[in-house]
Structure 1
Amino acid sequence: MIWIELRRSMMRWGLPIVLTAGGALAWAWSDTWQVWPEVSATTAFAATRFAVAILAGAAAWSAQRDRRAGLRAQLDATARRPWQVESVHLLGTLIYAWAGLLLIAVVIELVVIARIGPGFLWPSYLLLALTSLTFSVAVGHLVGRLTTFRFAAPLVGLVMLVLGFVAPPNAPFELSVVTGPAKLVLSPGVMAARSVFAAVCLLLAVTLPSRVAAARRARESGRRGESRWQTTSVVLAAVATLAWLVFAGPLQMPRAPVADPVCGQVSAGPRVCLWPENRAYLDEALLAATALRKAAGETVPLPAVFYDEGLRDGPSFTALAVTKPMIADMAIAAMPSFRGCTDGSQTEVEQRLTAAGRIWVWLAARSNGLRSVGDEPSFMLPPEVSTEVDAALTRPEPAQRVWIKEQLATAKAGCRA
């Protein structure tokens, strides 16, 4: 019977669409395929973003198939138990959903292994995709079986598509995540809630339609319906798990620091330490730190160690595949600490902050080889600051060093070392 369902399912033709859409999304984000956490998030994103809408619509359309063909009465009279009939029908769409996820994951795994070397997709992101796909199929099947509305299939598909775009970032019920930095992991509590909720939705899709139909027949015949405590208990379980999911906290949470980060040393300069999964970014991070060291010279003191964000408490930056944003992060991390400063007025505070901003912009510009920051959109500076820094960058090297020492003196005035 399952084989018959697979052959007659519209997902027989919809699966290539799911795979094509998933492959296109994965390719669009393939520039992040350098570290396994990002690859894992991309896999979940590609396997669910459009697939949830297609699968929900297909499940709803398939669920209305018996009513369109006028076969509902025959199926209600079959010797099989109602939940068995529903399970086989539902499983026909679920298998295509799970197969699409498996195929996308296997292809991306093989491509990434050939590109960046041995490693594995993080199972938590695959579970995220699995729960989203299972939930969408269960909801689509349930809507299709409980309504006679002709356009239920496209409507439920549209709702799932919109839900994927409007869900707040990092919400526990978000269907997929766009990025998966090494500093974050999926919350075990949220994933447990999502798994239970998807299972309860499947249980509802299998049991609720037959009980609703039985209650309707009982009303039409004037007989007293069967006890509804089982149906009520399943519905209450779905509401309870939905509440658990909504209040389970953010989907992604900070990861616990590791004892063995990947580190490198800049000649006569700071060390750079990354999450082990970000090993591919180490060379670029060392180039950024080297450029910063040359620009700082003996004028601007640098931290002894720059840490990948979330790895340790201290000067941090976000490890990436390009140096420019890492230079900006490291330059900010090198700014003087204002702890223990004695400021007599708000004006003194603003002067200190403005001086620190000039130091950061000058250091980042020098590290990137820029001669002007006024036209550089990445800085987003007030006009007066960009004008001052531009003027400083046009001066000879010794004059620039004198100017930056003045800014350091202003930033550190009245502060403990």
Structure 2
Amino acid sequence: MLPLLIALDLAMLFGRSTWWIGVWPEASAAAQLPAFFFGILLGGGAAWTAGRVHRAGTAEQLAAAMQPRWRIELPVWLSSLIFGLIAYVPGVALAFIVSAPDAGPGFLWPSYLLLGACLITLSVSIGHLAGKLWQSRFIPPIAVAVCLFGQVMVPPIRFYVLSGHVQAEVSPSALITRFTLTLLLTAMALTLPPRQVVRDAGWRLNTAPIRGIAAAMLFSGLATVVTAGPLLVARPAPADPLCSDESPRVCVWPENRKYLGTIDAMVARLVALPNGVLKLPDTFYERGLRDASVPEAGSDFQILAGPVSVPFFLSSAVTARTVPDCEVPQDVEQQFSHEVFHLDAYLQVRTFGNAAALGEGGGPPGVDIKEIVQVIHLPESGQADWIKDRLTAIRQIGANCHG
């Protein structure tokens, strides 16, 4: 099973995408995500391992042993946990190695790594407890289903994140409550006696009250996790964001330093258009650097799955300043939108450098991609004239235009 887990770790790390490389929070989130899949497998594996006590018929001997229950259970539980952690570490190490050259000063964020380790431990404890309490051979697949259902279908108690955007971080209170719940479930897995009535020195011990107390404690732990708030919370904006020297400036979060040159080149393509046909802001800010109360903060760009998302936000900010403010009669709304959409699509392609900026859907509805591609291949002056024609058409379609 160990080679399978390591292969799964590396496949999840590099098989989906690699845009996270060079951004510490994104690399940290990518390194912890395989723990979700480990949990599914380790839950069933731990249940099968713990179920050996039933298959070997040694439940009564263990109940009558002189050693405390937890000391007997601990090596079995650890054997499952170590498999998961051994498979988890290579992915973490590789995420650091490939990110360090581009990410600059810093390290992987411990909160994400602890979240992944917490999920692995929780899954092992769930499987171990289920395998010890019930004798059926169907318990391992049921444990797998429980681990999967709990993470996918009950979002308030999830122990993983899909992405580590720089604007967010793991909530300390949420991490503490999840760590506490994991410790509680681990303690139950190591100390609860098997479900059946056991014999100890001639006395019959009914475990029902013990199981009831444990269930109440577990319910309280789950309730605490749910009421602890969201797993991710917004980060405060840095006092000194990383900004370019050119005008207009581009400012990003320090963790996204590897994208600064790329986005600055996008803005330079807009600035290169002659005759001042476009109205650009003095500074393009990444989302979260400005307070949400700032009127223009809503148009700040976001880096989603790499820089391919940035042209959409940059073009929207430029379009909002360049397109005149007009009253649009209802009977010409479609025609007006057609002109604005074409201009916006052109700006996205111009900003990114090719039509990939529009995605598989081809940009806004009704946009003629062939026309946009033809315009992009015109000389700079020809592209500026095309923009002027679009703005003139917009003014003619609208009424009482300003700007």
Where do 1:253-268 residues align within 5 Å?
253-266=233-246
1:402 aligns with 2:388: yes
Quick one: distance in 2 between partners of 1:411 and 1:311? Answer: 37
Q: Is the 8 A contact 1:264 1:282 kept in 2?
A: yes
Matches of 2:104 and 2:306, distance apart in 1: 20
The equivalent residue for 1:279 is 257
Q: Residue 181 of structure 1: which of 155, 165, 174 is its match?
A: 165
- 2: distance between equivalents of 1:226 and 1:149? 19
Larger deviation, residues 405-414 vs 235-244? 405-414
Q: Say whether 1:217 aligns with 2:187.
A: no
Matches within 5 A, 1:361-380: 361-368=345-352, 377-380=360-363
The counterpart of 2:121, out of the listed 121, 134, 151, is 134
User: Size of the alignment, in residue pairs?
Assistant: 389
* 1:378 to partner: Cα distance: 4.7
- The offset of 1:389, in angstroms, is 6.2
Give the letter for the 1:318 counterpart.
Answer: Q
Q: Give SS of 1:301's match.
A: coil
Amino acid at match of 1:289: V
Deviation at 1:201, TM superposition (A): 1.2
Partner of 1:3: none
1:120 deviation in Å? 0.9
Query: TM-score scaled by structure 2?
Result: 0.82
Distance 1:303 1:378 in 2: 28
Q: CA deviation at 1:416?
A: 7.4
1:237 to 201, 214, 217: 217
Is the aligned partner of 1:382 residue 2:365?
yes
CA shift, 1:226, in A, is 7.3
| Residues 18-54 of structure 1: CA deviation (Å, up to 9, x unaligned) | 22221222222444212111110111013x1331122
Query: Paired residue for 1:38?
Result: 26
**Cα distance in 2 for residues equivalent to 1:241 and 1:411:** 62
User: Structure 1 residues 242, 410: CA separation in 2 closer, same or farther (over 3 Å shift)?
Assistant: farther
Give the TM-score, by structure 1 length. 0.79
Distance (whole Å) between structure 1 residues aligned to residue 193 and residue 207 of structure 2 = 14
* Cα contact 1:281–1:321 (8 A) shared by 2: no
Amino acid at match of 2:121: T
2:19–2:305 Cα contact (<8 Å) kept:
no
Deviation at 1:293, TM superposition (A): 2.0
3-state SS of the aligned residue for 2:108? coil
The 2-side partners of 1:55 and 1:189 are apart by: 26
Structure-to-structure mapping, 1:2-401, within 5 angstroms: 14-28=1-15, 29-46=17-34, 48-113=35-100, 116-161=103-148, 166-167=152-153, 171-210=155-194, 212-213=195-196, 216-217=197-198, 225=206, 228=209, 231-266=211-246, 269-295=247-273, 298-312=276-290, 313=292, 314=297, 315-319=299-303, 324-336=308-320, 343=327, 355-368=339-352, 377-383=360-366, 396-397=382-383, 399-401=385-387
RMSD: 3.6
Shift of 1:69: 1.4
Residues 155-206 of structure 1: CA deviation (Å, up to 9, x unaligned): 4235535665x447xx343343232121221233322222122122112212
Residue 6 of structure 1 corresponds to: none
Q: 1:36 to 1:391 in 2, by over 3 A?
A: closer
Aligned-partner Cα distance in 2 for 1:155–1:227: 22
Letter aligned with residue 217 of structure 1:
V
Deviations 1:264-307 (A, max 9, x none): 033xx411000000001111011111112224751121111111
**CA distance in 1 between partners of 2:74 and 2:140 (Å):** 19
Give 2:112's aligned amino acid: Y
Q: Offset of 1:355 from its aligned partner?
A: 4.8
CA displacement, residues 224-250 of structure 1 (integer Å, 9 cap, x when unaligned): 74792x543332121122123234443
Q: Secondary structure at the match of 1:78?
A: coil
User: Per the alignment, do residues 342 and 33 of structure 1 end up closer, same or farther by CA in structure 2, a change over 3 Å counting?
Assistant: closer
Distance (whole Å) between structure 2 residues aligned to residue 226 and residue 319 of structure 1: 55
Q: Deviations over 1:119-169 (max 9, x none)?
A: 3110110111012111100110011011111132234235535665x447x
Q: Distance in 2 between matches of 1:56 and 1:23?
A: 20
Separation in 1, partners of 2:384, 2:204? 98
Residues 322 and 190 (structure 1 numbering): CA distance in 2 closer, same or farther, change over 3 Å? closer
- Deviation track 1:295-330 (CA, whole Å, cap 9, x = no partner) reads 475112111111112222424112368655322320
Distance 1:389 1:66, change over 3 A: closer
Uncovered stretches (5+) of structure 1, i.e. residues with no partner: 1-13
Percent identical residues: 28
The answer to whether the 8 Å contact 1:56/1:153 transfers is yes
Query: C-alpha separation between the residues in 2 aligned to 1:244 and 1:346?
Result: 53
Q: 1:238 to 1:296 in 2, by over 3 A?
A: farther
SS, match of residue 276 in structure 2? coil
Query: Tell me, which stretches of 5 or more residues in structure 2 are unaligned?
Result: none
Letter in 2 for 1:123: P
